[in-house]
Amino acid sequence: MKKRVLILGSTGSIGRSALAVVRKLSERLEVVGLAAGRQIDELRAQAEEFRPRAIGLFSPPAGVSWRQGFPGKTKLYQGALGLSEMVAETEADLVLVAIVGTAGLGPSLAAIRTGKSLALASKEVLVMAGEIVMAEARARKIPILPVDSEHNAVFQCLGGSAFHQVRRIVLTASGGPFRTWDAQRIASATVEDALDHPTWKMGRKITIDSATLFNKALEMIEAHWLFSAPFSAIDVVVHPQSIVHSLVEFVDGSQLAQLSHSDMCLPIQYAFTYPERLPSPVRFLDLASVSRLCFEEPDHERFPALRLARRAGEAGGTAPCVLNAANEVAVAAFLEKKIPFPAISRCVEAAIDGHKPSAARDLEVLQRVDEEARVAAVEWIHKKGYS
């Protein structure tokens, strides 16, 4: 019997890779639902190919014209609440959440609450509401399968080991396009410079996060929740070859690492087929041809994101929600060329400075804090005189 998969974010880089995995494993996997943001034409083409039972559009344009052109019997959903309804109502075995930003939170909880396995590629879900999401998953015994290459690597290396056997988790970072740039050069970096990632081809927001290292900052908080790891046991090392995707150091001194070429099809396939391993179209790794694997400490002066993440994570409660929300606002402002690159981190730090953390008791609290942090970030941008 085929595993029924519902993919949220099907037109993004993760979603397209997920569909490539389904094509290769069509005898094992079936797409029962697809959802996207605004790329209606691509979504229509995907629906024509995979014939899902449900289609969702997070940001539909005004009017009903977007509904035209989909297979006749497909049920259509729209908006944030619509995606959660789609997840709850569609018969699926696994839901892949690959939506940028906080929009993946509602559908993730809907998957857990309706007994579906959750393959998570949206870091913001656990950064914003890790305590709530993990508590619900544990209560319902729903597995959360990490899709990020780093967390998927840690998941593989742990192999079911209890965390008391682990000394630390080490997340690897490519270093992004500015790894070798000095602070003065980084200060004048353009949007085009920041989007020119040396290793990965990703969406615009996550590519900017990689340039600031906020991508790795969010991953630290995500790892805390996924693996019940204290922040003192989570480290980051820069590894420009992006061959070692992360490693786990155990209390006996052993280190286990997961190595492969940079191809998101591999962690996606592992999440889709877990606990099985199946042949993959991914290019196999020849270590002799790689010849060198380099590692270096991250520079916290040029890239303050890691320091801010550790500060927010250790403060706990609503602090990570503020970090995430302010970062989203700042990244959007940078992409619109309203603020310079270093202002992203300064904006986030100002939002954290102005927030008094409280308990993340429920989604209503987090939604309020998220909104307040966004307002604070926008106000900081205006106060600094940026257009």
72 annotated ligand-binding residue: no
Q: CATH classification of 152-262+282-383 is 1.10.1740.10, yes or no?
A: yes
**Residue 11 among known ligand-binding residues:** yes
Question: Stretch 198-205: mean pLDDT, rounded?
Answer: 80
Residue 92, C-beta contacts closer than 8 angstroms, at least 6 positions apart: 4, 5, 6, 32, 33, 116
What's the pLDDT band for 63 if we cut at 50, 70, 90?
Answer: low
**210 annotated binding-site participant:** yes
Strand partners, 334: none
State how far the Cα of 195 lies from the Cα of 176, in Å rounded to an integer: 9
Return residue ranges of the chain for CATH 1.10.1740.10. Answer: 152-262+282-383
Tell whether residue 12 is among the known ligand binding residues: yes
- pLDDT per residue over 246-258, tens digit each? 999 999 999 999 9
Cα–Cα distance measured from residue 214 to residue 219, given in angstroms and rounded to the nearest whole number: 8
Known binding residue 17? Answer is no
Lowest mean pLDDT among 57-71, 116-130, 216-230: 57-71
Predicted pLDDT of residue 372: 96
Instruction: For residue range 348-366, list pLDDT tens digits in order.
Output: 999 999 999 999 888 899 9
pLDDT digits (tens, 9 = 90+) for 302-350: 999 999 999 999 999 999 999 999 999 999 999 999 999 999 999 999 9
State the pLDDT confidence band at 62, using cuts at 50, 70 and 90: low
Q: What percent of the chain has pLDDT over 70?
A: 99
Q: Is 169 annotated as a binding residue?
A: no
Token duo for residue 68: 């035209």
- The annotation status of 73 as a binding-site residue, yes or no, is no
Residue 191 has pLDDT above 80, yes or no: yes
CATH 3.40.50.720 domain position(s) in the chain? 3-146
Q: Confirm or deny that 362 is annotated as ligand binding.
A: no
What pTM, to 2 d.p., does this model score?
Answer: 0.93
Output the CATH code of domain 3-146: 3.40.50.720
141 is in an annotated binding site: no
Q: Is 150 annotated as a binding residue?
A: yes
- Is residue 30 annotated as involved in ligand binding? no
Long-range contacts of 40-43 (CB under 8 A, 24+ apart): 40/66, 42/11, 43/10, 43/11
Given a cut of 70, whether residue 64 has pLDDT beyond it is no
Examine the pLDDT at 68 and tell me if it is beyond 90: no
